[in-house]
Amino acid sequence: MAASPGLSTRGNIAILSMLLCILVGGTWLVVKVTADHLLYRSTTSTARNWGRYLAESITDLEQIAAGERPSNASMVFFQAARRSGQVFRYEIFNRYGYSQLVSDQEKITVVDLSEFNADAARAIDSGQPIVDTQAGHSADLPAFYARAYVPVVIDQRPVAVVAAYIDQTTARNEVYKTFLLAAASLCLLTALSFGLPAIAWYRRTKEKQHADRRIRFLAHHDALTGLTNRPYLIEMLEKALAVLPVRGGSIAVHFIDIDRFKEINDTLGHDGGDFLLKTVAGRLRATIRLDDIVARLGGDEFVVIQSDANGKDAAEQFARRLMSALTVPMQFKENAILSTVSVGIALAPADGSNPERLLKSADLALYKAKADGRDCFRFFLPEMDTELQARIELEGIIRDAVRHDRFELYYQPLFEMSDRRLVGFEALIRLPRKDGTLIPPMVFIPVAKELRLIDKIGTWVLREACRTAMTWPEHMTVAVNLSAAQFLTGSISAIVAVALKETGLAAKRLELEITETLLLGNTETIIAELRTLKAMGVAIVMDDFGTGYSSLSYLWRFPFDKIKIDRSFMQGCDGPSHEAETVVKTIIALGRELHMRVTVEGVETAKQAAFLEQVDGDQVQGFFFGRPIPASELAASILADFQWQQAHELEAKGKIRLVT
């Protein structure tokens, strides 16, 4: 088993401490040996000098060594030397090592009975001084002294040995003091030179350990939220699935996605988005149980593994608890973030026996929750696989159509009610499949919005509609629907200006239709952009009027050129009651008062057309007057209307009679 980083570090520290002690102790030992060596050399030098001094000063040294008494001059010298402070005792031996004279601080004694001294004999034999040091243990001896036996050679012949006892206490103290300071300094420098790198190494080791721990953590966790990441989630899920047959029960995978996270991120910036993600992560941690797992897969996608789910009911209750925790408002600076989440749920082993299949099943259920309006949860169903393949195929068709301009525009005619004259067309987008069949707008438009391609599609529609309208008679207009995405991604007025300039279409021939939902957002900014468009000469139309609760409030805030009554009112006119007819009459009258033209959509029967003639409707649009047609059929439609108008003019002049 590998040692833990903590134990390894403590072992390294102990080794470093031991090495430092050895280094400091070795340094001290070297200084001590050096000091003793210097003392030895000093003592030897002093003894030699003393012996030479005796040989030069005492003329009868050879006679004294032979046993004769010193002369008066020598006695005077000995007495003077006895008072010397450094040499407190000396002896003179003959060349055989027997003592002949002893002088100390008290007296000078000529020895009558000689004693043999082995050190003196060795000094004669070797011709070299013999020195040793001793500590004094009595009151008449110095605390530390040296004893040196120095042979005296005259005419290359050893004649005597002088033994000098030298007080080295002061010298030793001075040397030790000096070398103590040197040793302390050297030890300090050694400790610093070794310790500073050791400290740096220790800090670097700790930093590396911290970095290693961080790397190991990031290998299994998300950097922003600290939650389990996808690889580690799959690893843990594999372990849970492995013991599931033995343990029994089931596991629920909850795939969570924050609704409209991009809008929140765009509004509050990345700081706000990161705050939301970290808050969601914290709330998920607080909501799950000890054995559950919570992970972030990236972006705004989270996964919670509910261990021991005990069936669909338990998973549903758990999902509701998660959603409830995540929909509580979050305060970010001065803003309260109100977010909702969509949840897809898959159960193991029924919906998958391996992590990849389970996550895919939960993801499919999440798609269903989003398709059903968000802010809800859905369980995985087998048919969702087929729906996913269809969705993937549709996304591919949309992306290909955007890249290669494969969309088509159909045009629904717009008639003046008073004389049933063709006055223009509304451009309606269609998406063909490879087999030529058309995908309804209500199917592919929501997907295009989710893919964030609707603004590009809208720009293409605007340009293509203007280009086609240039082939019509100059009195005819073209109506184009604008989406909220086109207002959010940039200046729609600039896009319109480019389309008009590129195609050469007069601004008065272009009608831009918006819905009430567009104005529910940043109303002032939207209205300012609409005013810019109106100033260019483009007509602004309120589409689907009457379906929202605040449609009337916008009529006095912005001077629309036209309002279009939603098709649902025409359907109501075919019923037994007359409330819908009354509402239509009221809207037409309101338009007259506000100097806005009124177009009625969804006119499909002769009865509906007759009613609008009766109430003086301005313009009509619907299957009764003409279905949407491709651009290739526009010329024939315009020609047929022209011929019909010519025939009615001739009939009015009495030149022909039309048969209905």
pLDDT, one tens digit per residue, over 573-593 is 776 667 888 888 988 998 888
List, as own/partner pairs, every contact residues 5-14 make where C-beta atoms lie below 8 angstroms and the sequence separation is at least 24, other chains included: 5/209, 5/212, 5/213, 9/205, 9/206, 9/209, 12/205, 13/202
The CATH number given to whatever domain includes residue 515 is: 3.20.20.450
- Output the average pLDDT for the chain: 85
Average confidence (pLDDT) over 223-234? 91
Q: How many CB atoms lie within 10 A of CB 591?
A: 21
pLDDT of residue 215 exceeding 90, the answer is: no
Beta bridge partners of 236: none
pLDDT of residue 559 exceeding 90, the answer is: no
pLDDT of residue 312 exceeding 60, the answer is: yes
Burial 310-322 (b: 16+ CB within 10 A, else e): eeeebbeebbeeb
CA-atom Rg of the chain in angstroms: 56
Query: Would 610 be classed as within a structural domain?
Result: yes
pLDDT at 472: 95
For the whole model, what pTM was predicted?
0.57
- Token representation of residue 225: 């939220």
pLDDT of residue 1 exceeding 60, the answer is: no
pLDDT of residue 643 exceeding 90, the answer is: no
Query: Would 645 be classed as within a structural domain?
Result: no
pLDDT of residue 569 exceeding 70, the answer is: yes
Q: How many CB atoms lie within 10 A of CB 418?
A: 11
Query: Would 33 be classed as within a structural domain?
Result: yes
Is residue 156 domain-shared with residue 283, that is, in the same domain?
no
Query: Would 535 be classed as within a structural domain?
Result: yes
More confident residue, 207 or 233: 233
3-state secondary structure of 556: coil
Q: pLDDT grade, residue 208 (50/70/90)?
A: confident
**How much of the chain exceeds pLDDT 70, in percent?**
90
Is residue 345 domain-shared with residue 435, that is, in the same domain?
no
Pick from 126, 148, 173: which residue ends a domain?
173
Query: Would 9 be classed as within a structural domain?
Result: no
Judge contact between 96 and 117, C-beta under 8 A: no
- Sole residue written with tokens 């995540």: 326
Q: pLDDT grade, residue 375 (50/70/90)?
A: very high
Is residue 329 domain-shared with residue 442, that is, in the same domain?
no
List the single range of 3-12, 69-78, 170-179 with lowest mean pLDDT: 3-12
Q: What is the pLDDT of residues 495-523, one digit of tens each?
A: 999 999 999 999 999 999 998 777 766 67
Burial 163-202 (b: 16+ CB within 10 A, else e): bbbbbbeebbeebbeebeeebeebbeebeeeeeeebeeee
Average confidence (pLDDT) over 420-448? 92
Strand intervals (E) in 20-107: 87-94, 99-104
Is residue 339 domain-shared with residue 414, that is, in the same domain?
no
Q: What is the pLDDT of residues 118-161, one digit of tens each?
A: 998 998 888 888 888 788 878 778 888 888 888 888 888 888 88
Query: Would 351 be classed as within a structural domain?
Result: yes
Is residue 613 domain-shared with residue 489, that is, in the same domain?
yes
pLDDT at 407: 95
pLDDT at 548: 63
pLDDT at 22: 75
pLDDT of residue 371 exceeding 80, the answer is: yes
pLDDT at 467: 96
Which range, 245-249, 330-334, 490-494, 617-621, is most confident?
Answer: 617-621
The CATH number given to whatever domain includes residue 318 is: 3.30.70.270
3-state secondary structure of 409: strand
pLDDT of residue 285 exceeding 50, the answer is: yes
Q: What is the pLDDT of residues 261-280, one digit of tens each?
A: 988 888 888 899 999 999 99
Average confidence (pLDDT) over 455-465? 94
Pick from 318, 349, 382: which residue ends a domain?
382
> What is the number of structural domains in the chain?
3
Q: pLDDT grade, residue 549 (50/70/90)?
A: low
List the single range of 257-266, 471-480, 549-558, 607-616 with lowest mean pLDDT: 549-558
Which range, 91-100, 329-338, 503-512, 645-654, is most confident?
Answer: 503-512
Q: Which conformational region is residue 373 in: left (phi greater than 0), alpha (psi within -120 to 50 degrees), or beta?
A: left
pLDDT at 571: 81
pLDDT of residue 659 exceeding 60, the answer is: no
Is residue 357 domain-shared with residue 433, that is, in the same domain?
no
Query: Would 421 be classed as within a structural domain?
Result: yes
Q: pLDDT grade, residue 14 (50/70/90)?
A: low
pLDDT of residue 550 exceeding 60, the answer is: no
The CATH number given to whatever domain includes residue 69 is: 3.30.450.20
Is residue 446 domain-shared with residue 552, that is, in the same domain?
yes
Is residue 413 domain-shared with residue 376, that is, in the same domain?
no
pLDDT at 74: 82
List the single range of 24-33, 430-439, 618-627 with lowest mean pLDDT: 24-33
pLDDT of residue 558 exceeding 60, the answer is: yes
Is residue 134 domain-shared with residue 257, that is, in the same domain?
no
pLDDT at 359: 93
pLDDT at 45: 78
Q: pLDDT grade, residue 654 (50/70/90)?
A: low
Query: Would 110 be classed as within a structural domain?
Result: yes
Is residue 116 domain-shared with residue 237, that is, in the same domain?
no
Is residue 364 domain-shared with residue 417, that is, in the same domain?
no
- Sole residue written with tokens 């609409």: 530
The span from the CA of 88 to the CA of 96, in Å, is 24
Q: How many CB atoms lie within 10 A of CB 570?
A: 26
- Domain with 596, as residue range(s), is 407-623
List the single range of 191-195, 270-274, 523-527, 625-629 with lowest mean pLDDT: 191-195
List the single range of 3-7, 275-279, 459-463 with lowest mean pLDDT: 3-7
More confident residue, 636 or 82: 636
More confident residue, 17 or 308: 308
Is residue 266 domain-shared with residue 339, that is, in the same domain?
yes
Q: pLDDT grade, residue 469 (50/70/90)?
A: very high
3-state secondary structure of 560: coil
